[in-house]
Homo-oligomer: A and B are copies of this chain.
Amino acid sequence: MSEVYAPRRARLREQTAAAGAEAALVSRPANVRYLCGVAPARSALLLGPVQDVLVAAPTPAWDPGSGPLPEGLRVLLLPDPAADPAATAADLAAADGAGALAVEEHHLTVTRHRALRAAAPGLRLADLGRAVEQARLVKDEQEIACLRIAAEIADQALGELLESILVGRTERHLALELERRLVDHGADGSAFPTIVAAGPHAGRAVHTPTDRRVEEGDFLSICLGADYQGYRCEVGRTFVIGTSPADWQIELYDVVFAAQRAGREALSPGRACRDVDRAARHVLDAAGYGDGAGPGMGHGVGLEIDEDPRLTPSAMGKLDACVPVTVEPGVHIPGRGGVRIDDTLVVRPQADGGPELLTITTKELLAL
């Protein structure tokens, strides 16, 4: 994918110039990775007037010898582990003749911003804002291909687990087994800590797996995701354990399933993000489960597992084609458990067949 980074940097440099700054300093790790393919833990990327430089502190967090270096980019490894790469980059920008430097004020701390100003006192500091996050919203086909593979890996790991005996095993062990299977199938790691929630825990949006064992009659919610080349997806399903679900379980499942379908069907280019939330939430509200529905019905995914756009009641903005998002309504009833259904999809126009479902594990209510 190395040929994508230079054009991404060129676009950002054009935007920066249009805003009156000769140089930009990118410090947020996912943004650094988007623009040059790597993101050492303590690093900053300078798009300067005469050169692009990745400045990195010599933490053990990055070994430049461990992989290919970013192309078209100078790499400057600082001798002092305590040095701030951003301050050095500002100094470089000034030395290369920049008058103004746009920085990520939503990422730099007040202390680092001050140090940067001190390192290059002649430089005017401007705000780059969320320009890189904005560029990251719409994915290219290579990025979507990575997400597709990540989703396939998560589906495989989940599918294999469902073929094994679940009763009597703890949430912790099932979560660890899923994470092992993700790596077995080629993931670079989990996209986020795997959630396995049994019985009264089922349906929670976030849950740290416990020693609770899976029992007959439980709802069992599982949410996992793979990281493939930095791209992260998620899939969540809820099952019932035992031969046949109880009536309340079938009823609750049907409601969440209908809400999730309504959310998925609302995904189309040009649609307001809040409409997706509203479509799913309306189904939960109408069935009397609105209170336990949580703050949002989904979010963007990509180099971060939770990125723009937000599918929440207060979200601004509209969906675009080629934006991958999750749709994940859920209901949790304290003391009883609940249901969550979570897919990763890519927004596509109707002419192209509508939203592309990346996570294809069945959403029928399985009794395991």
B179 engages A295 (CB within 8 Å): no
A113 partner residues in chain B, CB cutoff 8 A:
110
Interface string of A183-215 (1 = CB under 8 A from B): 100001100010000000000111110000000
Stretch at the interface among A1-9, A54-62, A153-161: A54-62
Chain A interface residue count, Cβ-Cβ cutoff 8 angstroms: 43
Interface string of A107-138 (1 = CB under 8 A from B): 11111111000000000000100000000000
Copies in the complex: 2
The reply on A286 being an interface residue by CB < 8 A is no
Contact of A108 among B66, B109, B188 (CB under 8 A): B109
The reply on A80 being an interface residue by CB < 8 A is yes
Measured in the bound complex, the distance between the Cα atoms of B343 and A356 in whole Å is: 50
Contact of A176 among B65, B80, B110, B179 (CB under 8 A): B179
B312 engages A82 (CB within 8 Å): yes
Interface string of A55-75 (1 = CB under 8 A from B): 000111111011000000000
A109 engages B111 (CB within 8 Å): no
The reply on A317 being an interface residue by CB < 8 A is no
The reply on A172 being an interface residue by CB < 8 A is yes
Contact of A63 among B58, B63, B206, B312 (CB under 8 A): B206
The reply on A304 being an interface residue by CB < 8 A is no
A59 partner residues in chain B, CB cutoff 8 A:
206, 295
Contact of A312 among B81, B173, B183 (CB under 8 A): B81
List the 7 shortest-distance A-B pairs measured between CB atoms, nearest first. Answer: A60-B205, A81-B295, A105-B110, A60-B206, A106-B111, A105-B111, A58-B295
11 A-B pairs with CB atoms under 8 Å apart are: A58-B295, A60-B205, A60-B295, A63-B206, A82-B310, A82-B312, A105-B110, A106-B110, A106-B111, A110-B127, A189-B193
